[in-house]
Amino acid sequence: MYEFFDLDPRVRQAGERAMGVCRPVFEKMDTVRDYNQAKVLRAFADNHVSESHFMGSTGYGYGDRGRETLDAVFAQAVGAPDALVRHNFVSGTHALTVALFGVLRPGDTLLAVTGAPYDTLEEVIGIRETGGGSLREFGVLYDQVDLTEDGAPDLAGIAAKAAGAKVAYIQRSRGYSLRPSLSIDTLEAIIRTVKQANPDAVVMVDNCYGEFVERKEPTQVGADLIVGSLIKNPGGGIAQTGGYIAGRKDLVERCAYRLTSPGTGKEVGCTLHESKPMFMGLFFAPNVVSEALKTAAFAAALFDGFGYPVYPAFDEPRTDIIQAIRLGTPEKLVAFCQGIQKGSPVDAFVSPEPWDMPGYDSQVIMAAGAFTSGASIELSADAPLRAPYAAWMQGGLTFASGRIGVLLAAQSMLEQGIL
């Protein structure tokens, strides 16, 4: 590979060392990949997926067997009774919005049990009011149980507040914070606590970035609904857009009523040309997730070797694909992201710069050279230019290419004398 990418001997050697320490970690990732690939393959076979399911439909999309079969395959793959997998979800935030509005009614309380939810949900819930239309405006109340200082769930606090909640909301991934992601075992403990305090509470999990990282999904340890984006893990880098909601049949139906209309629900919604990429993406997802995890572990090992704090460590158990690296200065962040960009298959020739992104209180720099715009299952890195000057990177459709991107990030810092 060094024939094609000019890397300083220091970066090369550090890279070889990182590969060495990662090997046993990669082997474990392979066993999870193999398990999840078999799980997904079984779901395809059991649901008699065939070429006719890829044809797509137009107009209302009545009787679209591909759409119905994809729902069934996806549901089985995540161990849920039902699923709503649609290209019509424009983003993960949209799928989460549909799920929240689908289940909550005026006077209900939404209880976030793992601290503040992902940034984009603040306006959905009404924690931050801007244009209107939030849950709050519709009379849905909000309460929150913060994580403990070390990032663990506050089970006593959850037990105390769950009785009054209609929805207990969990975020699995770290998002853009340095708190740890929550493992399936931890989710199980949270869900048990909620259900003991309030058997009627609906447990909803923001599963973004978590799909196929572990052997189980939250729906297999008691979650009533899981929600995510198809331009992250479960789209396998092939789905062009979309999202999913999976879980209890009655709840999925309510969400379908919200996505389309009461009465028609899942029965409508044409698939155009999106069926095949969604099927193929789901099929590839366990493998692509494993490649992204290897890229993350490699980055952790490499930058730990250069003396930077990394979250998680290369050999820590993972439950999402995100790798945070605390670089410490704005110059380092920019150089890092510019290096990642150079290792992208698309737009490798451009150089990202920090900009004032709407909705953020500091400048943000983003490295993204993806086939699908904004797809973060593809190698990407984002960083707000504020303390602690950490980069959050994720994705990598193939480890062989993701590794080059990570090495180029180090090279870019080295060339500016700030590695």
How many residues at the interface with ligand PLP, by CB under 6 A? 12
Nearer to ligand PLP, 49 or 104 (CB): 104
Please list, residue by residue across 205-230, b when 16 or more beta carbons sit within 10 angstroms of its beta carbon and e when fewer do.
Answer: bbbbbbbbbbebbbbbbebbbbbbbb
Q: What is the number of other CB atoms lying within 10 angstroms of the CB of residue 284?
A: 21
- When asked if residue 218 is in the footprint of ligand PLP (CB under 6 A), the reply is no
- When asked if residue 177 is in the footprint of ligand PLP (CB under 6 A), the reply is no
- When asked if residue 183 is in the footprint of ligand PLP (CB under 6 A), the reply is no
- When asked if residue 382 is in the footprint of ligand PLP (CB under 6 A), the reply is no
Closest CA to 167 of 128, 235, 121, 130: 121
Structure tokens at 162: 């769950």
> Least distance in Å: CB of 393 to ligand PLP?
13
By the 8 A CB rule, do 188 and 220 touch? no
By the 8 A CB rule, do 84 and 249 touch? no
Nearer to ligand PLP, 91 or 240 (CB): 91
> What is the spatial distance between Cα 28 and Cα 24, in angstroms, rounded to a whole number?
7
By the 8 A CB rule, do 295 and 395 touch? yes
For CA atoms 186, 191, 192, 196, give the dihedral sign. positive
- When asked if residue 210 is in the footprint of ligand PLP (CB under 6 A), the reply is no
Give DSSP secondary structure letters for 241-280.
S-EEEEE-HHHHHHHHHHHS-TTTGGG----TT-HHHHHH
Q: Which stretch, 31-39, 168-176, 337-345, 355-363, contacts ligand PLP (CB under 6 A)?
A: 168-176
Closest CA to 104 of 145, 135, 137: 135
Indicate which single residue of 74, 169, 209, 244 sits in contact with ligand PLP (rule: CB under 6 A): 209
Indicate which single residue of 82, 123, 154, 206 sits in contact with ligand PLP (rule: CB under 6 A): 206
By the 8 A CB rule, do 346 and 371 touch? yes
Indicate which single residue of 229, 233, 275, 323 sits in contact with ligand PLP (rule: CB under 6 A): 229
Indicate which single residue of 5, 26, 44, 118 sits in contact with ligand PLP (rule: CB under 6 A): 118
Nearer to ligand PLP, 112 or 201 (CB): 112
Nearer to ligand PLP, 119 or 415 (CB): 119
Tell me, residue by residue from 392 to 411, as one string, x for binding to ligand PLP by CB under 6 A and - for no binding: --------------------
- C-beta nearest to ligand PLP: residue: 92
- When asked if residue 112 is in the footprint of ligand PLP (CB under 6 A), the reply is no
List Cα–Cα distances, 28 to 94, 193, 298, 409, in angstroms: 34, 30, 14, 26
Tell me, residue by residue from 62 to 91, as one string, x for binding to ligand PLP by CB under 6 A and - for no binding: -----------------------------x
Structure tokens at 14: 């550090």
Strand-pairing partners, residue 82, are: 247
Strand-pairing partners, residue 383, are: 365
- When asked if residue 244 is in the footprint of ligand PLP (CB under 6 A), the reply is no
Q: Which stretch, 142-150, 167-175, 189-197, 350-358, contacts ligand PLP (CB under 6 A)?
A: 167-175
Tell me, residue by residue from 86 to 105, as one string, x for binding to ligand PLP by CB under 6 A and - for no binding: -----xxx------------
- When asked if residue 171 is in the footprint of ligand PLP (CB under 6 A), the reply is yes
> What is the spatial distance between Cα 266 and Cα 369, in angstroms, rounded to a whole number?
34
- When asked if residue 208 is in the footprint of ligand PLP (CB under 6 A), the reply is yes
Q: Which stretch, 80-88, 152-160, 202-210, 327-335, contacts ligand PLP (CB under 6 A)?
A: 202-210
Side-chain-side CA neighbours of 361 within 13 Å: the count stands at 3
Q: What is the number of other CB atoms lying within 10 angstroms of the CB of residue 309?
A: 15
Indicate which single residue of 109, 120, 144, 264 sits in contact with ligand PLP (rule: CB under 6 A): 120
> Least distance in Å: CB of 118 to ligand PLP?
4
> What is the spatial distance between Cα 30 and Cα 27, in angstroms, rounded to a whole number?
5
Residues making contact with ligand PLP (CB under 6 A): 91-93, 118, 120, 171, 173, 175, 206, 208-209, 229
